[in-house]
Structure 1
Amino acid sequence: MIERILTIEKFGVFNDFNWNRDSTLQDFKEKNIIYGWNYSGKTTLSRIFCSLRDKSIHIDYPEAKFKLRQENNQEFDSDNLDTYDKTVFIFNKEYVDSKLTWDSRTELGEPIAFDVGENTTIRSEIERLEEIIEYVKSRKISTQPPIDSYNEYENWRFREESKSIRLIISNNTIPFDKGHFKVTLGSITKDNLDSLIISENKEIEDLKILSNSTNNFQPFDEFEIELKLLDFKTSVNDLLLEEPAKDVVIDILEKNKDLYSWVKDGLEFEENSDTCSFCGNEVTNDRITSLNNYFSNASKDLRDRISSQRDLINQEITAINSIEIPKSKNDFTEKVRETIDLKIKSHKSIKSKYLLELNHLLSELTRKEDGNIFNKISVVETEYDLKEIEDWFLEVNEVIKTHNSLISNFETERDAAREKLKKHLIAKFLKNENYFDKKEKSQNAQNWQKLYTHYITIKENLKQEKLDSLKTITKGKDELNKFIQKFLNRNDIEIDVTEDDKFILLRKTRPARNLSEGEKTAIAFSYFLVELESLGVQEMQKTIVFIDDPISSLDTNHISQVYSLINSYFFRKNIDADNPDKVVNCFKQLFISTHNFEFFSFLRDSTQLNKRKKITNPTTGEKQEIPNFGFYQVQKIDTDNSVLKGLDKALKRYKSEYIYLFSLIYKYKQAIDNGGDVYDILIPNALRRFLEIYTLMKIPNEPDSVENRIVQLVDNVNNFKTLNHFSHFTTFEKATRHDELIMVLPTACNELINLLELDEKHYESLKKAI
């Protein structure tokens, strides 16, 4: 229980309040009634309790501070609001505004629909959820394009590309569709993509040829050729460099190679003949001996070796001419066909060059024999490169090897070529399409869509919970009806529920098309009681309740009903099972504040509120009764400061607000007449309120204008100018513009007394009453 509000700083009109400054101010009790005029600080006081309820300083006063003293002298301050563990319920204007909302979309002439309690926030939360859901749905839709772009591959791009690849790798002779495409795609990643793309066009063309090849070829034997040109060059050069000894020389034969050969052959033929078969002359033995000696010398030996070398070269020429090369490229597989075709075409030229070089060596031997047999000569060098024909045979053999390998492992080689070419084509397609970037964007978009979908589901479920809550709250209409009817003391008023779970007010079973401020207050306060009731009696007995002006905008007829409703609601029988007739308090601590004197009078005189508490004296052990209720007053002490104090004795004594107001004004006038320097901040409001009640009592047919009523009461209104000045201000203006009125207060007070003196009997009775 809260015993004191020790200090209040910067909290609205409570700028510097300290409970201990007023030694007469008694601690709060279990039941507390607070009286104060409008704008004196009652609502601000209720906002301190709001801070306890909300566990945070009221939003309008971010710099405010306060400190409480609870039972057992425990202190608590606003710096630790989050630790406050008591349940607090507050009814004030903020509660009405937060718990009662009207459907601004209601068309003219249609019944007024409204929400009460949590429905006011639930419906706005539903609308907010709907906005969020629609926004998230739009965000989800915005993520669809990359998914659609990526799905094109699955829907048709892979299928179309498969057709193109099937044509390239097999000329449509083998199946290759989207399914095959995706199988290969499974082995391709963003990391290995570039390694699968073939950069050399020739390799690509070779793979295409092999991929489209058929196995109807025969193998070829490789060439086993030993080219002897280099050996021949060495041998010929050696022969040309030889210089044979001139032992026996017959010049005519040395100079004539043909004659040399003719004589040599004739000598063998005519060796045992005495005559020459050619000329018939006698051949002497000396001639025969001379010729034999000549043909058996070193020169003859050199000639014989030249002849032998010539035979070897001619054999090489015959061997080269006898080599059979492939006749047509078409005898080879497609992979090597272009290469072998070039080799076949180049063979004739390469062969001719080689033979030409051999013939050159033959001519060099002839040059040695013809007149140079005893001379040292060198081979005339040519620019021929033997490597050309050697490379030709090597390269042709490589082609033959490749060809033979292909036809012996044809299926494997072709399938490997198709696979490599297939991966190349798919990888190139994927790179040109930025496929993996699109895939990543699609996956990211799908991940976002999953998140959006999950988020939408959560919000849809929450929205449904809120919709269900609307129905749950509207199911409490019977309880709400019970309190409204008690509040207004009418049975023809009833709450009903629309199809969209909004409330409407029925008057005699017909929908109301406008609501009075009193009916609005009745609905809001009734819901407050329903909400408090939902805690259950046991929890209510642990709850601090603060009710600020529940009779706002109500006429006198309804004020007593509100008092009666509060009395029956918070003080109940049939709660204590052991003593059903016992009246039980349904709260832990109760605060009620009001500006209405009539309502205050009801509360002040309430039996239940004034009921004392029975305790056992801890010292004597005797039973005794102690006050369990407190009466307080909120009062402005200057323009920016209010205080909480004990109730003025006059308010306790007088049964009428009218007499109380007169007592304030009359005492103020007496103080001025006695020469005192007096200014009471209550006087402007007291003058305004008293003047309003007095003139309305005298002339009730002018309810709306104090000024008009004054004109009718006096003969010369010019004698009451200051009083008229006061009548122009509303209560709010009067409460906030005291500084303008300080100097005219004595005059206004004198004019009011002059006005009362015109009705001598009434004036005298007022003085006697105080």
Structure 2
Amino acid sequence: MIKINKIKEIGNFSIFKDFYWHQSLELGNNKTYDFKDINIFYGRNYSGKTSLSKIIRSLQKQDTPPRYDNPSFKIELSDGSIISQNNLTAFTHPVHVYNSDFVKENLKFIHDENANIESFSVTLGGENQQILDRIQELKSELGSNEDNIKSGLYLNIHNKNNEIKNATENHSTKNRDLEKLLTDRATRNSDSIKNQHSLFGDINYNVTKLKNEITEVLSSSFQILTEEQISIKKTLISQNELPKPPELSTYTLNFSQLIEITNEILKTVVGGSNKIEELQNNPSLNSWVQTGHSLHKNRTHCAFCVNEISAIRHQELAQHFDHETQNLQSRISKGIGHLTSLLDGENFKINFDINQYYTQYHAELSQLKIDLQSTLDQQKKSVEEIIRILEQKNGKLFTELEATYPQDHSVEIKTILGKISKIRSECIQQNTQLATQQKEAKNALRLNHVYHFLQDINYAQLKIDLDLAFQEIDPLEQALGILNTRKTAIEGEIKSEEDKLKSEGEACTRINNILNHDFGHQALSLQAIENAHAQNIHFEIQRNGAKAHNLSEGEQSLISFCYFLAKIQDDLDQDKNPIIWIDDPICSLDSNHIFFIYSLINEKICLYGRFSQLFISTHNLDFLKYLKRLNKKVQRNEKNIDLQVAKYHISRSATNSQIKQMPKYLSEYATEFNYLFKQIHICASTDILSDENHTVFYNFSNNARKFIEIYSFFKFPNYFKYDDDRLKNFWNDEIYRLFIGRINNEYSHCAGVLERGMSLMDVPEMHRVAKAIILKVKEDTQQYDALLESIST
């Protein structure tokens, strides 16, 4: 059986603003004074009683009342769920609210005699047992919807809802776990992609971007990076912009020309008749003699053997070592000298510093540097080989020589230099593209990181599990839809069958039975009037058989409430256990009819206890006193139950209202005498005016006058012609009588003191008067103590 646990908060609703149940109705130990089976509210007019009823009527109408700016409230139900202005349609338990809106909506005639009273039908007894049997059959299939005793279709729906809930929670849990993994990797953990933005390049990285990149790395075209590629890209990211590398030395050695010149020398032969044959045939001897000849040009004797050198021998040697021979030797000598100088020249000193190039080229440049030096060394050896060939020719001047020339490495050298030059150009170009290349490198590293992250968490399997969990929900929801469709069909058929047993005339009979009670209003009645043209029925109020006009406020209240009781009777009789809220039903009724209204509530609603909860509000202390007598002993499910009662006091300040636990003097005694004493005691206890207590001071004069009149009458119940005579006996002090009488009369009536109504009240003066009254009452210690106890002070 669903119940309202509390009005958890009212953010904005008419006079209620920023009201919180746990603050106003706290009992301590984290407990609050919550609603019970029967709930009674007392509050003066305009304190907010009707506003509360309108909040509950929002549950009935499943919509907030019109012309309320941004209404805001939360109602906590017995199952812990919350109903607010945003989800009113979620509340389906029957609710009936009696308040001014109910009267305006259903009894328009009260405010406009040309309007109608809305008709309704009630269930008849009848003899159509077949219909009743069918209704019972349908209800049996529908089953019970009570907590802990659900059955039939309601139980199937309940179980299916639990299956959907479990499947949904399973899907939510898997989705939440996956989302946590993605969020941690994207932004949350210390090693997240966002926190490694210097490596992965996006300080604003988030889980949405990660999801987009997951799609990218899972495509068939995505290529993961090798360890070498990762290392190169990391190096590139850490690279700072470098100056332009210096230009390389140019390799200018024309090796083929050296071969050509050398070949000409080898083919040159010194010869003729004047040559000494022995020397021609012996190069070593020829070289030795040539050296000796140059040393003995001016000598007549050999320095070696001291023998005479004849003029003829000098002549023979001169002819043998003539100008042609010297010229060939000179060419050979110059050739060897040139080649030797080339070996120490710039062509073989080409070098570069790899640190002047970007790091990603270092490995390649290191190899090119080795290759270049190796090739230059080989080229050096080739040049040295040509030198050796020329040296051989120098010993064979008289013979044409053939030689096998060494390999020319010029092409290899220029190729290597070309590669180095290309890298240099790329480095120069990279100065303008470094930022772009680093960004691309970071993007590539990030995507590679995402790919490996997905492998680490087994993302593909997680997605499969998530999809399977989601796919489990739809069949369950479809099955629930079939059950709900059947439930709706059964409910529709039950209503259709019940409509066959209903009658508007019977509704009038019920209302008239109440009105025509001995303590009701026998002159008034309600009749069902059929409109043949409109093909509908409306109700008409009649007084002594004729249409009634000019209804008094008391008659309006009585008819309205009887109409309400008759309208809710079916839900009570059919054990639908509705929630009932009755807002101040005794407006303008005399004391007899006030008691009559109490009797109706007790008999028609409380006697059998077929309601979930009952709420009644009033401003009338007499009615409040009767409400304490409402029947609380009922029988439910063959068990005797004592219904629990909660009592509340609604108080209003200048701009706001609050719900409090009803004070003891109202809850237990409920007399105006106790209430008036409470107000005077408050004025006597404080002399500071505030928003919270200003109404107590404002009403002090009336409250004090009424209290003294009641108190003095009880003290002196004998007849006095004038009230002043009674007050003289009461005060036994002329100054007190005159002073307090002036306060009570001038502030109460302003009669003869018109200017009093144009000025603010004198709080200190009222405080002194209140203290004087309290001290006077205190003379009777026992009564004073009893009064204090009655107001819980």
Q: Same fold (TM over 0.5)?
A: no
**TM-score (normalised: structure 2):** 0.40
